[in-house]
Chain A
Amino acid sequence: DIQMTQSPSSLSASVGDRVTITCRASQSIRTYLNWYQQKPGKAPKFLIYAASSLQSGVPSRFSGSGSGTDFTLTISSLQPEDFATYYCQQSYSTPITFGQGTRLEIK
């Protein structure tokens, strides 16, 4: 199975900050990498596919990059509604696997 490792596990930031979350795969997954946002008690929301393509309706302050084994999710200017947990997920092979999550908290 492909292991996905996110860093940091948690992050404190302020409204307006630029933040970056990193996701590393245990082997190359080319650009088969998706990102999700989850708020407490809610279902995950799909944000980014193919490492860097924004899902329709997702604000442009979100962006993704990377290929191979190293990927990043960047939020250019944090808004109050962005405080949540973020997960990366590889879609390269079965079983699909998720990172352990990065909890983004208000400083």
Chain B
Amino acid sequence: EVQLVESGGGLVQPGGSLRLSCVASGFTLSNYWMHWVRQAPGKGLVWVSRINNDGNNTIHADSVKGRFTISRDNAKNTLYLQMNSLRAEDTAVYYCARAPYYDFFRLDYWGQGTLVTVSS
């Protein structure tokens, strides 16, 4: 069974940092591109970042560029999102999602999400 389990969310002050993790099981992580998508409370889905299967190609949304970094460790079956210089508008549930090699932007499985709250 495919599973993606996020962790690392919590309450952080503006300007602070957090690192989210997403542990994959039930499939071979190295065969998939991976994405982070976020959802502010009561709002819609917003794409954040994506990384290719071996980790040497990444891209981030303009809203987080220079502050967030996506990375992966295929040997540990884990995806990461390092979030620095956090702002109130980064408050959201963060989901990791996988995309098959034949369609890099088809998000076919999602984790349950982890809540990040940025507040003083």
Question: Which residues of A does B touch, CB under 8 Å?
Answer: 32, 34, 36, 38, 42-46, 49-50, 55, 87, 89, 91, 94-101
Contact = CB atoms under 8 A, between A and B. Distances in A.
Contacts, number: 57
A28 B112 CA distance: 32
A91 B44 contact: no
B106 A34 contact: yes
B88 interface: no
Given A44-B95, A94-B59, A95-B61, A34 B107 contact: yes
B110 A43 contact: yes
A97 B50 CA distance: 13
Interface residues of B, number: 21
B107 A97 contact: no
B109 interface: yes
Interface of B: 35, 44-47, 50, 59, 61-62, 95, 103-113
Contacts of A32: 105
Contacts of A42: 112
Nearest to A32: B105
A19 B108 CA distance: 24
A22 to B, nearest CB: 16
A97 B113 contact: no
B98 to A, nearest CB: 10
A98 B110 CA distance: 15
A38 B59 CA distance: 25
A98 B108 contact: no
Contacts of A99: 44
Contact of B47 (A34, A45, A97, A100): A97
B44 A46 contact: no
15 contacts: A36-B45, A42-B112, A43-B111, A44-B107, A44-B110, A46-B110, A49-B103, A50-B103, A87-B44, A87-B45, A89-B107, A96-B47, A96-B50, A97-B47, A101-B44
